[in-house]
Amino acid sequence: MITLYLHEQKRGNRRPDGMKKASGRLQYLTDLNQEGQLYGAVKRAGMPHAVLKQVDIDEARALPGVHAVLTAADVPGWNGFGIADPNQPVFCTDHIRYEGDAVAAVAADSPETAQAALNLIRIDAEPLAPLDSPAEALKPGAVHLHPEGNVLHTTAFHHEDLDKAWEHCRWIVEETYETPRQMHGYMETEGGLFLPEEDGSLTVHAPTQHGYKDQMQLARILGWHEAQIRIVSSPIGGSFGGKDELNVQPYGALLALHTGRPVKIHQSRQESVRAGLKRHPMQIRMKTGLDQHGRIAAHEVDILSDTGAYATLGGPVLQFATEHAVGAYRMGAVRVNGRAVYTNNGVAGEFRGFGGNQVIFALEGQLDRLADKSGIPPWELRKRNLRRMYDPGPLEQEVAPNNGPRDVWEAVQRSLLWQKPKRSRSAEEPWLVRGIGVSLAMHGSGLGYGIPDPAGGELRLTKDGRIEAAFGHEEFGQGLLASLQEMMLDHFHCTKDDIRLTIGDTSLVPPSGSSTASRSTNMMWQALQRMVPGWKKQLFTAVQQASGVPASRMETGPGGIFRMEGGTQQELLLSYQEAAALADITEAVSFHFPVTPDPIIGGHYLYGSTAVITEVEIDQRTGAVQVLEAEHVVAAGGVVYPIGYLGQIEGGSVMALGFTLMEDTVMEGSVCRTPNLDTYLMPTIQDVPGYQPVQAVETLPPGDDYGPRGVGEIGSVALAPAIAEAVYQASGVRVERLPIDREVLVDETAWMTAAEGETIG
């Protein structure tokens, strides 16, 4: 186990994109410009629900400086996009389903002219009552948002006889939890540059988490072959799942092809908030019972997910939530039912944690309430119910042996923070109360059973003498390039200058699947494991022919291939560049993310685990909650790139802090009331604990050769319930809704009575 914090991380940071970013020299895709470019802009519906009758673009078209105004009639292929189900129209035809729905797009000489043209587009529409909650959308007679009705997806998982199981329960807790419409809040809003090429093809420079998926989706919209489209998709100014789906790409592509000119689009924050994806708000009812030994005998869950106007990944997110509503615990009887319901509330989609964050808040909340009720200490209660190494997974599926939950549980026992008194009140300022809470979670890696989860990569020796690793993954800040570099250095014992990392460009990289679901690091690790031996064999064989030294006596090293003797490096045989002249040395691999053999949709095979201890302070004058400490334990296999690992946990944790304390896209009648960063609040440097100690449990069960699990999401999944418990310890108030409403925490009784009519002393 290693502790990653303070300055103990001495390995240094060699992230390849570091200096360019620190100096502001890195060009993002929204920074690109091209001679002769036009400026694209999208006309959004601006109303949440309506029958669209007509879009009048004549005046806009006539405006000097306007080169194109496009509507649904101008989409040559499929007028829709969506990773799982392409039911979001590129341009609306007859039904407006949310404020951000696109009805037209313009290309003009300047951003100002494009904006002026948008203002001249008239939308003739008949407003409909907004379906502003799943409850409204489920009412009989509610307008159908899609042909299949208003239910996008349902899940059902049953294990053992739940109805009977209640009889064995001594303590039962039933509660309904609600979670907010969190925004990804990537600092770089959506945009890019779209270039029609001379050979008739199209180059798209726009952020995405899966270039090949964008290529497929755009080809479908344009009615083209995928090979005609090149997607350049990195670097990215943040994504967190939010840029996995298409956003401005359809408009940029159509406008560029229509005008034959380069088109630049960069959405404003306001447009980004109104049009972009959010985390699914979920209403989660849980009823959970303990038997007299403190074992969870019965667990019933209903999940109602507000998926917004279109499908995107609403189904898979619900699936994930269903599995994680059981999580790391073994239970007697279980019934989980989930529904993802269409509404007019924007569009909910993929977001770091993928539906786990919501149900983990609820599940851990149940354990804390049951601990209270039964008198079994909360941490002890968890231990009694945690899965063991060889237990099946949450959906009773076969999983890789996994002791992560118990490992992190043990580590918490040793934490000094956890040993502090659970609550206290300030003597000088009696309105300040403190509390400590802890929670635990297990989080699946990969997309789960039934969802294509392909991986692949290529290793090449380039003519200029570099070992090139090419992956179809993306760099959005998570440090993928740095992790890849570290792994390459480990494999080849060479220098940074000997390697080349190629990502984010469909013309240069093989398909590798998406950069989501905490899978990229693991996929690259596995791909390298598979490719390196074969690649080295090819290389050494070629060098053997040239040098006469047997291949078995060779190893790669700084600058080239060395002769080895007894494990130590002798003379340089050939430089990489010389070796590259001998033969074409390329190794490619494609495979599938490890998946459970049991055909249970959404079931995972690999998991990471985490526990979080937190201390909060509540100001009972205002109900403000300040997180003073957050200590994390993470079991996710080996640490490839320490400062990157640490950064993922710190960043994920602060995102969870925002989710818990302040972030929510407030909708009134399906109209967004928090359209910019002055009303949609994200944590500042003053809202966060400065140091968040992170302990990494690196041990994996014997025989586990799946490599490091990703840690992109796990830092964000377990803080909310820990804060909720700490708030309870401090104030005695249980919170079921996030973000925590300050109004319920205002409490003047303690210090008012202390001072009533008397001098204090």
Partner 1 sequence: MTTSMKTTPLEINGTTYQIEASPSRRLVDILRHDLRLTGTKVSCEVGRCGACMVLVDDVPHNSCLLMMYQCEGRRIETVESFPEEDALTQAFVEEGALQCGYCTPGMMISLRGLLRSGRAETKEALMEGLSGNICRCTGYGGIHRVLDKITEEGLS
Partner 2 sequence: MTMTKQQVWRPWTLQEVVSLTGQLDGRYCFTAGGTWLRTQWEAGTLEEPEHLIAVDRVPELQSGAAVQENYIEIGAFTTLTDVLEHPAVLAKLPVLVEACKQIAAPSIRHQATIGGNICTRTGDAVPALLVYDAVLLWYGSDGLEEESLEAWLMRETEEERLLTAVRIYDAPEEVDDVVFALKSGRRETFIPSQVTVAGRLRIDPQGNVLAAAIACGGGSAVPKRMPKTESLFCRSSTRKLFPALMHDEIKREYDPPSDVFASAEYKKRVAANLIVGEWYRKGRDHAVST
For partner 1, the binding residues (CB under 8 A) are: 6-7, 12-13, 15, 17-28, 31, 33, 111, 184-189, 235-240, 266, 268-269, 476-479, 643-644, 646-647, 650-655, 676-678, 682-686, 688, 690-692
Which entry of ligand FES, partner 1, partner 2, none binds 428, CB below 5 to 8 A by partner kind?
Answer: partner 2
Closest contact distance (angstroms) between CB of 7 and partner 1 is: 7
Closest contact distance (angstroms) between CB of 633 and partner 1 is: 16
Indicate the residue among 270 and 544 with the shorter CB distance to ligand FES.
270
Which residues have CB under 8 Å from 711's CB, separation 6+? Answer: 518, 521, 608, 634, 636, 645, 648, 649, 652
Closest CA to 269 of 665, 741, 745, 736: 665
Which residues have CB under 8 Å from 410's CB, separation 6+? Answer: none
Which entry of partner 1, partner 2, ligand FES, none binds 662, CB below 5 to 8 A by partner kind?
Answer: partner 2
Which entry of partner 1, partner 2, ligand FES, none binds 476, CB below 5 to 8 A by partner kind?
Answer: partner 1
Number of Cβ within 10 Å of residue 8's Cβ equals 12
Which entry of partner 2, partner 1, ligand FES, none binds 307, CB below 5 to 8 A by partner kind?
Answer: none
Indicate the residue among 186 and 605 with the shorter CB distance to ligand FES.
186
- In 536-605, beta strands by DSSP E: 554-557, 560-565, 568-575, 586-592
The count of residues interacting with ligand FES (CB under 6 A) is: 3
Indicate the residue among 153 and 184 with the shorter CB distance to ligand FES.
184
620 makes contact with partner 2 (CB under 8 A): yes
Could you give the string, one character per residue 563-602, with x where binding to partner 2 holds by CB under 8 A and - elsewhere? ----------------------------------------
Residues facing 322 on adjacent strands: none
Q: How far apart are CA 693 and CA 724, in angstroms?
A: 20
Using DSSP bridges, classify how beta strands 694-697 and 2-4 pair: parallel, antiparallel or unpaired.
antiparallel
750 makes contact with partner 2 (CB under 8 A): no
CA distances from 292 to 94, 168, 174, 329, 423 (A): 59, 8, 18, 17, 28
227 makes contact with ligand FES (CB under 6 A): no
Residues facing 399 on adjacent strands: none
SS (H, E, C) 430-460: CCEEEEEEEEEEEEEECCCCCCCCEEEEEEE
CA distances from 255 to 131, 265, 418 (A): 32, 10, 58
622 makes contact with partner 2 (CB under 8 A): yes
477 makes contact with ligand FES (CB under 6 A): yes
Using DSSP bridges, classify how beta strands 467-471 and 499-503 pair: parallel, antiparallel or unpaired.
parallel
Could you give the string, one character per residue 160-189, with x where binding to ligand FES holds by CB under 6 A and - elsewhere? ---------------------------x--
- Applying the rule CB under 8 A, the residues between 682 and 711 that interact with partner 2 are 683-684, 686-687
The count of residues interacting with partner 2 (CB under 8 A) is: 42
* Cβ atoms of 6 and 75 closer than 8 Å: no
Closest contact distance (angstroms) between CB of 24 and partner 2 is: 17
381 makes contact with partner 2 (CB under 8 A): no
* Cβ atoms of 2 and 639 closer than 8 Å: yes
Interface with partner 2 (CB under 8 A), residue from 450, 626, 638, 643: 626
DSSP state of 321: H
Which entry of partner 2, partner 1, ligand FES, none binds 650, CB below 5 to 8 A by partner kind?
Answer: partner 1
431 makes contact with partner 2 (CB under 8 A): yes
755 makes contact with partner 2 (CB under 8 A): yes
* Cβ atoms of 237 and 272 closer than 8 Å: no
Query: Taking contact as CB under 8 A, which single stretch among the options 64-72, 227-235, 646-654, 668-676 is the one that binds partner 2?
Result: 668-676
Which entry of partner 1, partner 2, ligand FES, none binds 552, CB below 5 to 8 A by partner kind?
Answer: none
Q: What angle do CA 230, 520, 222 make, to 5 degrees?
A: 25
Closest contact distance (angstroms) between CB of 677 and partner 1 is: 4
Indicate the residue among 327 and 651 with the shorter CB distance to partner 1.
651
Interface with ligand FES (CB under 6 A), residue from 238, 430, 557, 638: 238
CA distances from 206 to 12, 110, 237, 269, 602 (A): 31, 20, 11, 16, 30
Closest contact distance (angstroms) between CB of 569 and partner 1 is: 29
Closest contact distance (angstroms) between CB of 8 and partner 1 is: 11
115 makes contact with partner 2 (CB under 8 A): yes
User: DSSP letters of 87-126?
Assistant: -B-SS-SSEE-STT-EEEEEEESSHHHHHHHHHH-EEEEE
Closest contact distance (angstroms) between CB of 241 and ligand FES is: 14
Phi then psi for 177, rounded to 5 degrees?
A: -110, 150
Length of the chain: 761
191 makes contact with ligand FES (CB under 6 A): no
Structural element, H or E, at residue 416: helix 416-419
661 makes contact with partner 2 (CB under 8 A): yes
Indicate the residue among 130 and 504 with the shorter CB distance to ligand FES.
504
Indicate the residue among 237 and 465 with the shorter CB distance to ligand FES.
237
Which residues have CB under 8 Å from 478's CB, separation 6+? Answer: 515, 520, 644, 648, 712
3-state class (DSSP) for residue 61: helix
* HSE of 476, CA atoms in CB hemisphere, 13 A: 29
* Cβ atoms of 377 and 409 closer than 8 Å: no
Q: How far apart are CA 286 and CA 301, in angstroms?
A: 5
Q: How far apart are CA 448 and CA 402, in angstroms?
A: 16
Closest contact distance (angstroms) between CB of 692 and partner 1 is: 6
187 makes contact with partner 2 (CB under 8 A): no
Indicate the residue among 636 and 724 with the shorter CB distance to partner 2.
724
112 makes contact with partner 2 (CB under 8 A): yes
Q: How far apart are CA 595 and CA 673, in angstroms?
A: 42
758 makes contact with partner 2 (CB under 8 A): yes
Which residues of this chain interact with partner 2, rule CB under 8 A?
Answer: 111-112, 115, 268, 270, 428-431, 620-624, 626, 661-662, 666, 668, 673, 675-676, 678-679, 681, 683-684, 686-687, 742-743, 746, 748, 751-752, 755-761
The residues of the shown chain that bind ligand FES, judged by CB under 6 A, are 187, 238, 477
